[in-house]
């Protein structure tokens, strides 16, 4: 049996849209991107969604909004030590300094009890990550942010469909940043999207994704239909508004072909989410019998986990290594990925920040001993049971 880590859904509807878009010759950001934004906002339950080219750009642009509200270059953003490296990269790309905080071993998410001592006069925001779709402790984080007058931006890259205290992830604070990468529940192949209930944030985001230009209407008539724009020469004398640049920006637009893939995904979102969540919760239940050797996350009463993947951490004293387990799974046709690393101490690119091994013991342990496998919608109980059987076989062979 073969269990791949991920899959991609490019529906017949998407294929028809792509053909129409190619025939029209209008492939840059236009009406289909705007349609996707509106539908994604409705899905999450927010007023605005702004589509961009990657999930990393979603993080970076959300952070760059803060410059319009008094932030300065090299101000600090608090993030968890454990995440996909994009989280730390985005902070630096936005011109800020990442300040890392260790995670809780049982949730993989930032430990709220460690955040306050990391706050300094230069701190501008906290960016918790809902790693593996497990919601971070947003009530505690939001209370700290309110106390210290900080912004909160959710890195919800893997958290499509996650729910916290009855509210969807992505609408719990100032902004939410999602990845739409090929392995995720909603995909545009490459892409990202930022959600917010603040129309001013959304307007700035539309400027930021297009080099910081003053042209930032919710729907651009020039891009969507080549119609006359009454605002084009009504600003700054006779200058074309499309070539007035109000802030330092990015080149991070989503194109029409990507939006077409996303619109097709949205048609079947609930089916995809339910299948993946059934797989995740089924594996979580079956996996508890291995708790002497390996751990996974648990579902709390006040949440639904976004079923991105099934994470596993090898316990201390288990009697085997992650690599031996991964190699065995691979020999049985089961694909896996490492469960990320401690960015400040296990990723060479962050060495200049001066952290040292041992500064983030939980993140470092997970970085050395964690992995995850797929729970995507093309899998079912047969594949899940096969994985559990192979774990049994591994433990019988190696212990």
pLDDT for position 232: 66
Q: Which two tokens stand for residue 305?
A: 């986990």
Question: Which is higher by pLDDT, 220 or 358?
Answer: 358
pLDDT for position 321: 97
Neighbouring residues of 36: CB distance < 8 A, sequence distance ≥ 6: 51, 188, 254, 259, 262, 263, 266
* pLDDT, mean of residues 158-180: 98
* pLDDT, mean of residues 79-98: 98
Q: Is the pLDDT of residue 34 over 60?
A: yes
CA atoms within 13 A of residue 33's CA, in its CB half-sphere: 26
* pLDDT, mean of residues 357-372: 98
* pLDDT, mean of residues 279-307: 97
Class of domain 269-398: alpha beta
pLDDT for position 235: 62
Domains of the chain, residue spans: 12-267, 269-398
> CATH classification of 12-267, choosing from 3.40.225.10, 1.10.3720.10, 3.30.565.10, 3.40.640.10?
3.40.640.10
Q: Which two tokens stand for residue 51?
A: 């589509």
Does this model's pTM top 0.85? My answer is yes
pLDDT for position 145: 98
pLDDT for position 240: 78
**Burial (CB count within 10 angstroms: exposed 0-12, middle 13-18, buried 19+), residue 24:** exposed
pLDDT digit string, tens, across residues 271-282 = 999 999 999 999
* pLDDT, mean of residues 266-273: 97
| 271 C-beta neighbours (distance < 10 Å), count | 11
Mean pLDDT, the chain, integer: 95
pLDDT digit string, tens, across residues 111-127 = 999 999 999 999 999 99
Question: Which is higher by pLDDT, 218 or 135?
Answer: 135
């Amino acid at each position: 049996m073969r269990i791949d880590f991920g899959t991609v859904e490019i529906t017949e509807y998407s294929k028809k849209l792509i053909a129409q878009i190619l025939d029209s010759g209008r492939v840059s950001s236009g009406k289909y991107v705007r349609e996707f934004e509106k539908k994604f906002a409705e899905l999450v339950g927010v007023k605005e969604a702004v589509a961009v080219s990657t999930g990393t750009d979603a993080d970076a642009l959300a952070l760059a909004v803060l410059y319009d509200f008094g932030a300065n270059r090299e101000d600090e953003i608090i993030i968890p030590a454990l995440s996909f490296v994009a989280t730390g990269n985005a902070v630096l790309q936005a011109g800020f300094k990442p300040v890392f905080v260790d995670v809780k071993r049982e949730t993989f998410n930032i430990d709220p009890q460690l955040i306050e001592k990391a706050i300094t006069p230069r701190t501008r925001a906290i960016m918790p990550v809902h790693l593996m779709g497990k919601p971070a402790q947003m009530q505690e984080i939001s209370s700290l942010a309110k106390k210290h007058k900080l912004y909160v931006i959710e890195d919800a890259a893997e958290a499509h469909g996650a729910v916290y205290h009855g509210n969807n992830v992505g609408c719990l604070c100032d902004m939410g940043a999602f990845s739409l990468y090929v392995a995720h529940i909603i995909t545009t192949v490459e892409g990202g999207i930022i959600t917010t209930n603040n129309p001013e944030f959304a307007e700035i985001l539309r400027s930021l994704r297009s080099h910081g230009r003053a042209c930032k209407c919710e729907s651009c008539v020039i891009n969507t239909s080549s119609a006359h724009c009454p605002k084009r020469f009504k600003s700054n004398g006779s200058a074309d508004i499309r070539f007035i640049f109000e802030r330092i920006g990015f080149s991070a637009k989503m194109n029409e072909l990507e939006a077409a893939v996303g619109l097709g995904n949205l048609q079947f979102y609930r089916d995809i989410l339910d299948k993946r969540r059934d797989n995740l919760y089924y594996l979580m239940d079956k996996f508890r019998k291995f708790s002497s050797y390996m751990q996974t996350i648990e579902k709390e009463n006040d949440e639904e986990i976004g079923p991105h993947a099934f994470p596993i951490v090898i316990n201390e004293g288990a009697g085997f290594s992650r690599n031996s387990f991964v190699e065995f799974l691979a020999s049985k046709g089961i694909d896996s990925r490492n469960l990320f690393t401690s960015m400040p101490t296990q990723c060479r690119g962050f060495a200049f920040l001066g952290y040292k091994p041992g500064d983030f013991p939980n993140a470092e342990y997970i970085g050395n001993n964690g992995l995850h496998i797929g729970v995507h919608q093309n899998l079912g109980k047969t594949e899940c049971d096969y994985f559990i059987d192979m774990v049994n076989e591994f433990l019988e062979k190696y212990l």
